[in-house]
Amino acid sequence: ELYAQSYSCCGVLFASIPNFASFYSEDINNGVECIRLLNEIIFDFDQLLDEERFRPLEKIKTISSTYMAASGLNPSRKGPDEWGHLTALVDFAFAMREALDELNKHSFNNFKLRIGISHGPLVGGVIGAKKPVYDIWGNTVNEASRMDSTGTFDKIQVPKATAQILEAHGYLVQFRGSVAVKGKGEMETYYVLGRRKSVGRQMSVGRHPSVHKSLAAVVYGLVRARKKGLGSSLSVPSPQRRLAPLVPPPSKHKLHRILSETPHPGRRKSRMRERRMTDAGGSSHSYPDMRNVIDLDFKPGS
């Protein structure tokens, strides 16, 4: 007996690993090792679905290295927000990408996901007398599949209607352009970049990477130099070695104020915490540890 049910609105996801085909080889153990790695990838994706935030989602099937999932099939898991299942599906796509990146680090591979998502009406049901399986059909399923096949590595592609809903729910989307889609003609598609807050945070962190990097390098170098100096001072000094007399820095030197305002070592640390360094651009940042290092490592004449 045929079992089928129609749904007014569901989300559908296709996530494929296009470069797995070139990775697969039967030269080693007849391809078993490659399939074992693919199984590990799919297993990691399956485990994500156990998280509470992904309760509205259902895994449909895997086709070779393509993972298929849907949202909104179980009305009891939809929640108060009518589009909550769709946003959960998008978050799942980002979680899949992170899981694959983590696996790449440990397996020394460079697999990339290509993800397509769409939403709309569909039909779900079980067909067949032997080995019956649950599956979904409809225009929404085909559209999500096309979003995957016409997409690009490491991107989540969605049609315009889906992009509008996601943008209204706090996601940052980027217009890709018109894409020729089989059975659809030209379609306007978008890339989902992430939630606005997380994307903004990544951009703000990435905007001035050189400042933090150079500061860390300076501090690291000074600390190493200080340790090296302390280590060498413990050894017996060479007869040819001359110790330079301790001379205070000139009045216009950057360190003059620091040294003159901290006459007692016991008060130095507390004052360092309150004071701020001013860079060439005029902005101020609190770097107490670096001041401490610079003060201790000051060399006359430098």
The one catalytic residue in 36, 53, 160, 182 is 182
- Catalytic residue from among 78, 114, 146, 195: 146
Q: Which residues contact residue 279 at a Cβ distance below 8 angstroms, ignoring those fewer than 6 apart? A: 285
Residue showing tokens 């860079």: 279
Closest CA to 37 of 112, 115, 107: 107
Torsion over CA: 180, 186, 187, 192 (sign): positive
C-alpha to C-alpha distance for 158 and 151, rounded to whole angstroms: 9
Which residue type is seen at 46? D
The number of residues in the chain equals 302
Please say whether the beta carbons of 143 and 120 come within 8 A: yes
Q: Is 224 a catalytic residue?
A: no
Distance CA 46, CA 57 (A): 11
35-39 long-range contacts (CB < 8 A, ≥24 apart) are 37/107, 37/109, 38/65
User: Tokens 């003159």 correspond to what residue?
Assistant: 260
Residues 6+ apart with CB under 8 A from 51: 95
Q: Is 146 a catalytic residue?
A: yes
How far is it, in rounded angstroms, from Cα 242 to Cα 177? 71
How far is 280 from 116, CA to CA, in rounded Å?
Answer: 47
- Which residues are catalytic, by number? 146, 182
